[in-house]
Structure 1
Amino acid sequence: MKNYKYSALFITFVIFSFLNLNAQELVKHPKTEFRGVWIATVVNIDWPKTSSDSVDKQKADYIEILDTYQKLNFNAVIVQIRSVGDAFYPTKLAPWSKYLTGKEGKAPVPYYDPLEWMITEAHRRGFEFHAWMNPYRATMNYNTAALSPDHDFFKYPEWMIKYGGKYYYNPALPEVQKHLLTIVDEVVQNYDIDAMHFDDYFYPYKVAGEKFNDTASYEKYGKGMSIDDWRRDNVNTFVKDVSVSIKKSKPWVQFGISPFGVWRNKSVDPRGSDTEAGQTNYDDLYADPIAWMDNKWIDYLVPQLYWSMDHPKASYSKLLKWWSENSNNTAIYIGNGTYKINADSDKRWNNPLEIPNQIDITRSYKNVQGNAYFSAKGFVNKNQKVTKLLSENQYKYPALPPVVPAAVKNIVIVPAASNLVMDPISIRFDVQRPLYSKIRYVVVYAAPFGSAIDSSNPSQIVEKVAYEFNSDTTQIIIPSYKMDINTTCAITFIDYYGNESQATIVDLKQ
């Protein structure tokens, strides 16, 4: 316990040492904050736990993840639905994933649509659902005999580049970009997702002694640019096209990317961060998040700062400050590496306060609106010292996800309660969804007995209830113990963009 107290004092010193014009007063319990978790399906990292799991076990394990993070007051899940040219949903554009059924191209038995089901269960628990795709990675190894005949490796072999133990789609080919855009469009149009999400895999991380052989494409499409600028332009073109397509189809669906944590090192660019990263977004992955922000092609960034606070080559604290100072037009959340807790050569990760301290310093920057954690298994029946600290401190109360900058607007409609029923166990009433509106949730607030209801106070959030996809009415059920013998509560609407309406007081005595 003495060590914990010392660490807490130390982090206070660090936070105030880094405060500058971009910082603000630390809010202990923010009402609005992104709290997301990545659920990785590739090689069964998080879910399904094995590729041979039955459908019933798959569903039970997914719900366990949701319930774990709901209890920790998280509000978003980032679920990997395409990792290696495959799919976790029925489509003619890619085979079923082997990580779902054990064999690529094999459908689930008994049949169900995992993506539709996962979205529904996430919304029922108040989560945003971010559909995560790896657009360019085609395989995890060279064992092509294990691929389905319907995999793009066999259908379009001219699209593939062999590199570093894997096959990749060639980002330079217009037909590849068109195909990948069609894949994104299909998911956006057919599923009730809240966001489309890409991670850090654009051009592959460089492998010593190997060449990414896109020479022929460069000679054909290079247009006089250097090969590095040309590669960045290929990525930028795809990011722009995805953005335009999403907003044309469903303007409320966000487009987010979680790039590698270092844009460029200061040693090669004075605008870069004070880091010594071996690879960077701009110079090695040919990804330029600064350009994406400047051109308003994305709604949010989640730079992956998977290092400890004081890492000598890539300090979380320094990189957090850099991203805050360089944010533009875009929501910024920080990616945190919970997979390193008690499992990394950097022994700072053995301190249960590392993640809580990272949250605290993140909250001290006004241009950063939350965190996401890689990956889900980090807190499912693991690292209980850390989760206990979070549940008693940083994540003691719920929070609503931020509205991304381009989607902020006023909701003029307000909810109304009807069909009120009270008994010793619960309070129940209905809330009609307004006609021709994009309302996703009703939030219920209640104050401790004797206190006024304050919908800006996250400690007063008692329920967040989703409308079922095809229903115009939702029933609110509040356990009586949550009301503390109060005779009123308040309700608000949350629209598909995340905007919250003004509160309506509900008189429970009527």
Structure 2
Amino acid sequence: RNAARYASNKVKHPLKSHRDLCVLYSGGYYLDPGLPEARKYLLKLYKELIEKYDFDGINLDYTRYPGDKFNDASSFKAYNPGKLSRDDWRRANINEFVAQLHDMAKKVRPGIRVGSAPIGTYKNVDKYKNATSYFSYQQDPCQWIESGHHDFIIPQMYWNEDFGFTPNMVTWVNNSCKHPVVVGLAPYKLVDSKWDVDVIIDQIEKTRRTDGVAGVCFFRAEHLLGNNPKIKRLYDALRKDVFNRPAHLPQFGSNKAPSPRNVKAEYSNGGYVITWDAPRNCDVRYYSVYLTDDKGVRIDQAPDDIVGFKVKGNSFNYRSSKKGLKFAVTAFDRDYSESDPVYVNRGKEKSKKHKSKSDSDNSDERVYVDYDFL
């Protein structure tokens, strides 16, 4: 049915152009991951996309086998020289594709991020009998992380505690090799499974208390923005209470953007004007301005301190009747990596020079300035 919708397209649906790569399973057609030509076909499509469009990342969904009864007998016979078991051979096929995709993507666009949204249970956890990514669908995202072919994972944690939400979340964190884990949540179950709004709110609070969880992701938009009364209650709770401050994307790896230079601030006419120069040798995406104190600011844990979220220019106005406020400014590069903060404080002018690890290839030094602007 879906293939028929594209009958008039110049580029034909794969069921028409590559019928030999497709397998009928449970009423639908799937590309057979066991066929080298199927993997090559997908890699060619991904390469065309990231060459032509400035994507920040690739998040793989359904990169797995659709079920145990998938009819891949012919490819299993033809492309299994190592005589692996069916499950191990299937996992090896998916592993190979993910590795090839990652390496190709990084070669074409080095700063691109590659990750996936696997099934919400990795392997069997405790007493629960959930379908698993590893055994049920021959999907091994923890191997993709361990082998260096993933930057993040967004497991589909569409369970409540009856199905082990918390132990499954902890299992993903423990197997993520310290890569960002973004927990996928299921607001659609407020409608489909009659969950209460508090289930989703409680799950968000649990992710925030769990070290190693970098954030949450929702499936899907219509169950955040729809007209259902329960969905509206969830949206209002998220907007007013849970996400009432801006937050930046999770940091990937240890690289940092170079810091802005010559940061200054002046107070006049009921407000502050904070200015700075762009860092050297950096394609800046935007800057952030933080309200801080004598102890400094933890930029990875300080959404409440952001007063200028995504500042595109080299200055920021902050209206306040309070004199003596203190600020910090950071820069973000094209890969969304944030720099160390540069502080602007009331007091005697002095500077501390700090060589950034991310700038070891040039002589630019980071300067932390206490600037007397009152």
Normalised-by-shorter TM-score class: 0.7 to 0.9
3-state SS of paired residue (1:330) = coil
What is the one-letter code of the residue matched to 1:229?
A: D
1:452: how far off? 5.6
3-state SS of paired residue (1:370) = strand
3-state SS of paired residue (1:186) = helix
Distance (Å, rounded) in 1 between the aligned partners of 2:314 and 2:70: 56
Do the aligned residues in 1 keep the contact of 2:258 with 2:339 (CA within 8 Å)?
Answer: no
1:292: how far off? 1.4
Residue of structure 2 equivalent to 1:493 = 331
3-state SS of paired residue (1:219) = helix
The one of 257, 260, 278 aligned to 1:414: 260
C-alpha deviations, 1:275-296, integer Å up to 9, x for none? 212x321223211122212212
| Residue 133 (structure 2) pairs with residue 288 (structure 1) | no
| Residue 229 (structure 2) pairs with residue 390 (structure 1) | no
Residue of structure 2 equivalent to 1:64 = none
| Residue 80 (structure 2) pairs with residue 231 (structure 1) | no
Q: Say if 1:174 and 1:365 are closer, same or farther in 2 by CA, change over 3 A.
A: same
Distance (Å, rounded) in 1 between the aligned partners of 2:53 and 2:266: 33
3-state SS of paired residue (1:353) = helix
Do the aligned residues in 1 keep the contact of 2:284 with 2:332 (CA within 8 Å)?
Answer: yes
Residue of structure 1 equivalent to 2:159 = 307
Do the aligned residues in 2 keep the contact of 1:299 with 1:330 (CA within 8 Å)?
Answer: yes
What is the one-letter code of the residue matched to 1:401?
A: L
Do the aligned residues in 2 keep the contact of 1:444 with 1:489 (CA within 8 Å)?
Answer: yes
Q: Say if 1:463 and 1:290 are closer, same or farther in 2 by CA, change over 3 A.
A: same
Q: Say if 1:318 and 1:484 are closer, same or farther in 2 by CA, change over 3 A.
A: farther
Do the aligned residues in 1 keep the contact of 2:265 with 2:272 (CA within 8 Å)?
Answer: no
1:306: how far off? 0.8
Residue of structure 2 equivalent to 1:91 = none
Distance (Å, rounded) in 1 between the aligned partners of 2:248 and 2:90: 38
3-state SS of paired residue (1:298) = coil
Which has a greater percent of strand? 2
1:431: how far off? 5.3
Q: Say if 1:504 and 1:235 are closer, same or farther in 2 by CA, change over 3 A.
A: same
What is the one-letter code of the residue matched to 2:285?
A: R
Q: Say if 1:463 and 1:165 are closer, same or farther in 2 by CA, change over 3 A.
A: farther
Distance (Å, rounded) in 2 between the aligned partners of 1:463 and 1:432: 16
Distance (Å, rounded) in 1 between the aligned partners of 2:315 and 2:372: 13
% identity of equivalent residues: 25
1:158: how far off? 1.3
| Residue 300 (structure 2) pairs with residue 455 (structure 1) | no
The one of 226, 244, 261 aligned to 2:120: 261
The one of 20, 23, 32 aligned to 1:158: 20
1:199: how far off? 1.6
Do the aligned residues in 1 keep the contact of 2:278 with 2:314 (CA within 8 Å)?
Answer: no
1:243: how far off? 1.5
C-alpha deviations, 1:114-158, integer Å up to 9, x for none? xxxxxxxxxxxxxxxxxxxxxxxxxxx465364335223222221
TM-score, normalising length: structure 1 = 0.59
Q: Say if 1:329 and 1:366 are closer, same or farther in 2 by CA, change over 3 A.
A: closer
Q: Say if 1:169 and 1:353 are closer, same or farther in 2 by CA, change over 3 A.
A: same
3-state SS of paired residue (2:65) = coil
1:400: how far off? 2.3
C-alpha deviations, 1:375-420, integer Å up to 9, x for none? 122222553333333344432322222212xx21344433445899
Distance (Å, rounded) in 2 between the aligned partners of 1:484 and 1:381: 41
Residue of structure 2 equivalent to 1:123 = none
Distance (Å, rounded) in 2 between the aligned partners of 1:204 and 1:255: 22
Q: Say if 1:465 and 1:420 are closer, same or farther in 2 by CA, change over 3 A.
A: farther
Q: Say if 1:195 and 1:185 are closer, same or farther in 2 by CA, change over 3 A.
A: same
- Equivalences, count: 338
Residue of structure 2 equivalent to 1:144 = 4
Residue of structure 1 equivalent to 2:289 = 444
Higher RCO, 1 vs 2 (CA within 8 Å, ≥6 residues apart): 1
1:509: how far off? 5.8
Do the aligned residues in 2 keep the contact of 1:408 with 1:499 (CA within 8 Å)?
Answer: no
Residue of structure 2 equivalent to 1:196 = 58
Do the aligned residues in 1 keep the contact of 2:267 with 2:373 (CA within 8 Å)?
Answer: no
What is the one-letter code of the residue matched to 2:50?
A: V
Residue of structure 2 equivalent to 1:337 = 186
Q: Say if 1:329 and 1:367 are closer, same or farther in 2 by CA, change over 3 A.
A: closer
3-state SS of paired residue (1:338) = coil
Distance (Å, rounded) in 1 between the aligned partners of 2:102 and 2:139: 15
The one of 215, 218, 223 aligned to 1:373: 218
Q: Structure 2: which 5+ runs fail to align?
A: 346-370
Q: Say if 1:484 and 1:221 are closer, same or farther in 2 by CA, change over 3 A.
A: farther
Residue of structure 1 equivalent to 2:37 = 175
Residue of structure 2 equivalent to 1:275 = 128
What is the one-letter code of the residue matched to 1:231?
A: R
What is the one-letter code of the residue matched to 1:379?
A: L
Q: Structure 1: which 5+ runs fail to align?
A: 1-140, 266-271, 468-473
Do the aligned residues in 1 keep the contact of 2:263 with 2:344 (CA within 8 Å)?
Answer: no
What is the one-letter code of the residue matched to 1:286?
A: Q
3-state SS of paired residue (2:74) = helix
1:477: how far off? 4.9
Distance (Å, rounded) in 1 between the aligned partners of 2:159 and 2:61: 17
Cα RMSD of the aligned pairs, angstroms, is 3.1
Do the aligned residues in 2 keep the contact of 1:428 with 1:475 (CA within 8 Å)?
Answer: no
Do the aligned residues in 2 keep the contact of 1:188 with 1:246 (CA within 8 Å)?
Answer: yes
What is the one-letter code of the residue matched to 1:242?
A: L
The one of 330, 337, 342 aligned to 1:503: 342
Distance (Å, rounded) in 1 between the aligned partners of 2:321 and 2:50: 42
Q: Say if 1:296 and 1:434 are closer, same or farther in 2 by CA, change over 3 A.
A: same
Q: Say if 1:485 and 1:477 are closer, same or farther in 2 by CA, change over 3 A.
A: same
Within 5 Å, give how 1:39-118 maps onto structure 2.
none
Do the aligned residues in 2 keep the contact of 1:201 with 1:285 (CA within 8 Å)?
Answer: no
Do the aligned residues in 1 keep the contact of 2:61 with 2:118 (CA within 8 Å)?
Answer: yes
The one of 215, 220, 227 aligned to 2:78: 220
3-state SS of paired residue (2:304) = helix
